[in-house]
Structure 1
């Protein structure tokens, strides 16, 4: 493992600097009452159900909630004690704020363990704490990844100190807890630990105790056995009739290219793409500039993670964007692999560190501004909530385009706050047995019971499950719902809301009370959808035979 000499630490290598950078990572999340992450309100609604499920019988008429041993329980478990101390919303906010903080500490700690001191180039990796997966709201995954980075740093430290027995004892429970948080973090820790062990075992050859790469591979596998216990949990989790969800969409190269392009995606496309180009320029400079070298340990880790990214399908066990989530961490590990050569002047290293600090500060400032704007939008639309009585049944329709706009409205799951704050039914919950504890059982809602029924467009979108707003307004079962909430709606025929009384309005957004439950006739489906339905029916007949 590469380590520096005994000279005095520079300002960016001190502990106070690491603490300052970690705390600074929380700045964008200080002001928003609800962290403006696309999926987070939906997760918060699930947490609410978990907390009141045994005490509120009407909730059990709408949702089924069963605790089970699955690799996706990070924040679900943490909110139980923290909500008693701070309330649900503040507890969630504090946990989410810890994710970028832990991501920064993990990256800097790994860099220090591998290089001996934090290299100036490592500061350029810190903005990746606010990546597209974070903005999308994959919070259990992101928490597990932040923990995985810190656990990998601990793994490296114990190896450097020769405390292998202690490492074995510690990482059996730690890896199990990480798996419980989210399977992905545990898998990434395994990849990072294995690659580090390969390098360590190969380097032992220098003093006559190592071996060639094949032998190092075998020894690395044996060294990582303390991380293997969750494989037993995986067998129990993914077996049984209750598990649903397909693994599909392999080798979608165009999507993988787009995920890389969107690593820093937030609000302003030019700013986000330009920032990403800076990071790639640092990598290119690290390859071409003789004043910069790299750690074989972390380069191998980055290559292993890149291979996983390329091989992963887009959908794993029904969970979409599985490969996309890994892209920012491949780049982050590659960036912290770089370091200035020992011969570089202190002034040049300090200049490089200052540039990295300015870049980090600029990204934090942009994210803080962006989140403030999203928070204003959240505050505006949530003024509708007092107009809905507790226990109401609300169907929400949130407009979006068929094409993917760079800046999301981040309103797709804000209807879930009806459940969080008003204990009302909402139709935006995910319902996939085996992927999480909550499934939807409200049969009266029919095709408008769960996600993605809340997403509407101005027309039918090929390859998507979204419906046009005109179809949804005509087809949703009026006898199953008490209110209709339209957010960012595309244009629609006013006759479709006949019998629905506005009780709140803000711009184009409107909350409608269902007064007339007479069901209008649904508009016809397009021909290509009728053909797909006919083909599915034929397949069903063939299967029955």
Structure 2
């Protein structure tokens, strides 16, 4: 029996080795999904505002209170994927649950996309793309730019499809690529550019490697690459987003911050330690020949760096346009890593370090989300004091806060009033050209239609009975227009900023809720 056990060990070892990669993948996927599963309303900056729009879209046809304020004007907007996916799900589940499903889909695409590229490029699976797991939570994620990140995930799979079909007929690649481009357009316009840039980088390498025997098919290859992008031009020209084309700002400062956003979470010292470990390990491995990049990956890195340096900070009205790019590049480049992990580098050490880094990142997210959930709970309790169908103005304290986590959790938290009380809130996303949600003419003047900053307390006091000098704003004469006012970023027990027009209702961590004379 002892001899039989010894003879069985090699077979058992081979069986275990063959399952380490899928088992590790399953374990890491469960780990990164856990914070989302346990927080129905995660503290991502823009996320609750998007969910408020999802609630309106889901309930508008059956809720006369919402119909008094809102309407949907469908248009060709390159930012519609959440509007197309979440409301149908919300009809069967709650809007919060549908939002969780959307986030989980986004995470799944981001962590599997590099593996798909790697498999298409090298013809086999490798542990390297699993490095996507500790990177899936990042500064762009915490900003709540979920349409862009989901578009990045789709772009990853689109690149994998292009590489996998590269030896097929050009028309086959063109048809598949056309479908990918169309889906990406409705995810996010920047995702279209990301996909096009990566495919271009791969094609530059491919055509150079095959320049002698592919000369006769050059025009067919160029057509297969370019044709799927041709419909983007008429689509964007027909889109109201084109009206935002003048909103373009380029800044040289902040480029390094964009790179940092790829690893940023809640504590700079921990983020820098994580980045240092990854960079240090990468340099050590590269020096010893255990880490390499496919030539097409080097082309992508060079092309992406140039695009990043030239890209404006604001494009088509979208802020931090350039700073979104590095995190997407990191996910893409993972797919181009040389697959060999034998020799100097131990697979066991790799898996151990990978799991440790991922669990550390997930733990940091989970701990901070649990702490920030107190803000959501306070806001939900305060909102319960608001009657259904109220008009709510959001303002900010004069003293700005430097607590980034507080801003992420609180800046759009008043939109909970839309979800739970069918309210009209002044900061709801309804910018023409960016969203299909529209405010009816009777209330359009009470909402920020320019995606700007809420008024400060000083501005409120100054405009309680007069208009803003030289440039009237939506909060002018606010005591007669709104029922309630949220003041954000306040200190505990802060004094009533305007006792003549405001009556204290409730407060929570970082905010106070007041009722106006109109709401009495």
Q: Give the equivalent residue in structure 1 for 2:467.
A: none
Q: Give the equivalent residue in structure 2 for 1:515.
A: 517
Counterpart check, 1:181 vs 2:187: yes
Q: Give the equivalent residue in structure 2 for 1:305.
A: 304
Q: Give the equivalent residue in structure 2 for 1:505.
A: 507
Q: Give the equivalent residue in structure 2 for 1:100.
A: 107
Query: Is contact 1:28–1:368 with CA below 8 Å preserved after alignment?
Result: yes
> Equivalences for 1:428-443 in 2 at 5 Å?
428-440=427-439
Q: Give the equivalent residue in structure 2 for 1:136.
A: 143
What is the TM-score with the length of structure 2 in the denominator? 0.84
Which of 456, 460, 469 is 2:457 aligned to?
Answer: 469
Q: Give the equivalent residue in structure 1 for 2:129.
A: 122
CA deviation string 1:42-92 (max 9, x = no partner): 111222232344555554554453101121110101123211111222111
Q: Give the equivalent residue in structure 2 for 1:388.
A: 386
Q: Give the equivalent residue in structure 2 for 1:463.
A: none
Q: What runs of 5+ residues in structure 1 fail to find an aligned partner?
A: 1-6, 456-466, 519-545
> Equivalences for 1:230-309 in 2 at 5 Å?
230-238=231-239, 243-244=243-244, 246-250=246-250, 252-285=251-284, 287-309=286-308
Provide the aligned C-alpha RMSD in A. 3.2
Which of 60, 85, 88 is 1:78 aligned to?
Answer: 85
Q: Give the equivalent residue in structure 2 for 1:352.
A: 350
CA gap of 1:454–1:396, structure 2 versus 1, over 3 A, is farther
Query: Is contact 1:243–1:435 with CA below 8 Å preserved after alignment?
Result: no
Q: CA deviation at 1:246?
A: 2.8
Q: CA deviation at 1:118?
A: 4.0
Q: CA deviation at 1:328?
A: 0.8
What is the total number of aligned residue pairs between the two structures?
A: 492
Query: Secondary structure at 2:338's aligned position in 1?
Result: strand
Q: Give the equivalent residue in structure 2 for 1:361.
A: 359
Query: Is contact 1:267–1:408 with CA below 8 Å preserved after alignment?
Result: no
Query: Is contact 2:111–2:130 with CA below 8 Å preserved after alignment?
Result: no
CA gap of 1:343–1:389, structure 2 versus 1, over 3 A, is closer
Query: Secondary structure at 1:512's aligned position in 2?
Result: strand
What is the TM-score with the length of structure 1 in the denominator? 0.80
Q: Give the equivalent residue in structure 2 for 1:370.
A: 368
Which of 196, 200, 208 is 1:202 aligned to?
Answer: 208
Matched residues in 2 for 1:127 and 1:450: separation? 37
Matched residues in 2 for 1:58 and 1:10: separation? 59
Matched residues in 2 for 1:127 and 1:139: separation? 18
Query: Is contact 2:426–2:446 with CA below 8 Å preserved after alignment?
Result: no
Matched residues in 2 for 1:269 and 1:420: separation? 34
Matched residues in 2 for 1:291 and 1:480: separation? 66
Q: Give the equivalent residue in structure 2 for 1:483.
A: 484
Q: Give the equivalent residue in structure 1 for 2:3.
A: none
CA deviation string 1:266-306 (max 9, x = no partner): 21121122222333334434553333222112222232222
Q: Give the equivalent residue in structure 1 for 2:38.
A: 31
Counterpart check, 1:146 vs 2:153: yes
Q: What runs of 5+ residues in structure 2 fail to find an aligned partner?
A: 1-13, 464-474
CA gap of 1:434–1:342, structure 2 versus 1, over 3 A, is closer
> Which segment is superposed worse, 299-308 or 71-80?
299-308
CA gap of 1:149–1:400, structure 2 versus 1, over 3 A, is farther
Query: Secondary structure at 1:316's aligned position in 2?
Result: coil
Query: Secondary structure at 2:487's aligned position in 1?
Result: strand
Q: CA deviation at 1:134?
A: 1.1
Q: Give the equivalent residue in structure 2 for 1:412.
A: 411
Query: Secondary structure at 1:291's aligned position in 2?
Result: coil
Matched residues in 2 for 1:217 and 1:354: separation? 46
Matched residues in 1 for 2:228 and 2:28: separation? 30
Q: Give the equivalent residue in structure 2 for 1:458.
A: none
> Which segment is superposed worse, 400-409 or 273-282?
400-409
